[in-house]
Amino acid sequence: MSFVAVRLSILPQRYTDVEHIARGGMGDVYRATDTTLGRTVAVKVLAERYADAEDVKRRFKNEALAAARLSGAPYTVTIFDVGEVNGQAFIVMEYLEGGSLEQQLQAGKPDTAAVIRWLQQAAAAIDAGHAAGVVHRDVKPGNLLLDGRGDVHVADFGVASAVGLDSLTITGTVLGTAGYLSPEQAQGQRATPASDRYALAVVAWELLTGTRPYESESATAEAAAHVNAPVPAISRAGGPPELDPVFERALAKDPRARYASAMDFVADLRHALRQAAGATGELATVQEEVHVRGNRSPRWPLAAALLLVALGLLGAGLAMAGVIGGDSDPQTTTVVQRQTVTRRGETVTTNVTVTTAPEPPPAPTPTPPAPTPPISSGSGAQLTDEATGLLRQGRWSEAEAVARQAVAKLKGSGQVYEAYAEYDLGRALAEQGKCPEALQHLNRSEQLQGHRSQIDDARSRCQ
């Protein structure tokens, strides 16, 4: 069927300048001009082979209408129209000119900073869909579309299930989609929000390494690996080892063992990448024996203090018996200490010999590093991420200060980040025993994003 025939026989007359731009398992995608509203749109037309399948067309339209409820949610493709002409169903949605993440992968492995931004945007959209009761069922790079600014928008919420593309039990599953199927979907079970989060983790793995965790020449073999093969270590695929535990959880076979939200997964992923970036250096070699005698001693207190601070920052332990000062004394004692230094990948214990005076002055207590001051600028989303990171470190008062700023910036926005900011503030307050105010913010978070086990857990601290 020619493109002109497509416009005349399938699309309403208001859509002109039709151009075929993509083909997928459920049908074809066209770019067209909506002459009524004067804008460029994308039109997804259900494949002709489903023209006589009334149940498929009905599910296709019902799923599209359900996804349309998400229109206006952050980083979600907006649906403008759903209909049927001459027996073929179609969906009209916003046209995004930046292509898909699938095309980005075909061009080469993307920049890590861009990957984290894309994943965070996709996670916000997926969590918003789940809060509205819509499961995507087909999260993959081809359904993550880029606008002109390079921001990701999630397309096709729920639509895949209408034609059976979310399960290998249906004939016609396409290669590629199988690579992102959760174990439960690969076994023909119903997809859940946990299934979407699993698929997002597979997308993250592919964006970071250029390959999928169970990549295979056969779609069936790849789907079977999702069910039966142990979760591989991403460090073996070129990722930093700090990411291994994150993906171990995100790709768990049991949906209950996975992350409770897509944003939780991305937050841990970002934190692990920061750890990996900060773990490239090693502590300089420490002399195994230090002899301090006579007039050479006055510089030792400063050197000792600097060493203690350095070791404290790197998680090292140093036992110190004394600090030397003044002139040499014939009555000196030698103390042999055990010193443990943790380097990346190994722990080294050495003996350090220090000569001390009979009556040494008290050892100075190293001043702990000053706590990180709360961020006073940045977007509400950035502040929320910072507050989440502080919560994970148990820095409750700092998390409270940052979360308050995030709540103030996001208040009334209706974004999923507003729900996260309210949770962060409620959790930080609950941990400090400030329960009346904590419960107010936790309740607000639940109003915005629905029931979450993390909210119940935070409330339990006030019982």
What is the fold of 101-278? Transferase(Phosphotransferase); domain 1 (1.10.510)
Q: What are the pLDDT digits (tens) for 381-414?
A: 788 888 888 887 888 998 999 999 999 988 887 6
Residues 87-106, mean pLDDT to the nearest whole number: 90
* pLDDT cut 90: percent of the chain above it: 38
Instruction: From the options 3.30.565.60, 3.30.200.20, 3.40.50.920, 3.60.20.30, give the CATH code of 3-94.
Output: 3.30.200.20
Q: Please say if the pLDDT value at position 119 is more than 60.
A: yes
Mean pLDDT of the chain: 76
State the pLDDT at residue 362: 53
Q: Which two tokens stand for residue 327?
A: 């002139």
Q: Please say if the pLDDT value at position 80 is more than 70.
A: yes
State the pLDDT at residue 222: 92
State the pLDDT at residue 178: 83
Q: Please say if the pLDDT value at position 301 is more than 50.
A: no
Task: Name the catalytic one among 138, 166, 264, 424.
Answer: 138
The answer to whether the beta carbons of residues 263 and 296 sit under 8 Å apart is no
Q: What are the pLDDT digits (tens) for 147-174?
A: 999 999 998 886 655 444 444 434 334 3
Q: What are the pLDDT digits (tens) for 192-206?
A: 999 999 999 999 999
Is residue 138 among the annotated active site residues? yes
The dihedral of CA 159, 164, 167, 173: what is its sign? Answer: negative
State the pLDDT at residue 264: 96
Residues 18-29, mean pLDDT to the nearest whole number: 81
* pLDDT cut 70: percent of the chain above it: 71
CA quadruple 236, 241, 242, 247: dihedral, nearest 10: 20
Residues 260-272, mean pLDDT to the nearest whole number: 95
State the pLDDT at residue 384: 86
Spatial distance between the Cα atoms of 111 and 105, rounded to a whole number of angstroms: 11
Listed by start position, the domains of the chain span 3-94, 101-278, 294-356, 380-460
State the pLDDT at residue 10: 67
**Rounded to 5°, angle at Cα 160 from 162 and 21:** 115
Lowest mean pLDDT among 10-24, 109-123, 208-222, 236-250: 10-24
* Top-tier CATH class for 380-460: mainly alpha
State the pLDDT at residue 11: 78
Domains 3-94 and 101-278 share a fold: no
State the pLDDT at residue 378: 64
Place of tokens 């018996």: 321
Range 287-294 contact pairs with CB under 8 angstroms and sequence separation of 24 or more: 287/352, 288/350, 288/351, 288/352, 289/351, 289/352, 289/353, 290/352, 290/353, 290/354, 291/353, 291/355, 292/324, 292/354, 292/355, 293/328, 293/332, 293/355, 294/327, 294/328
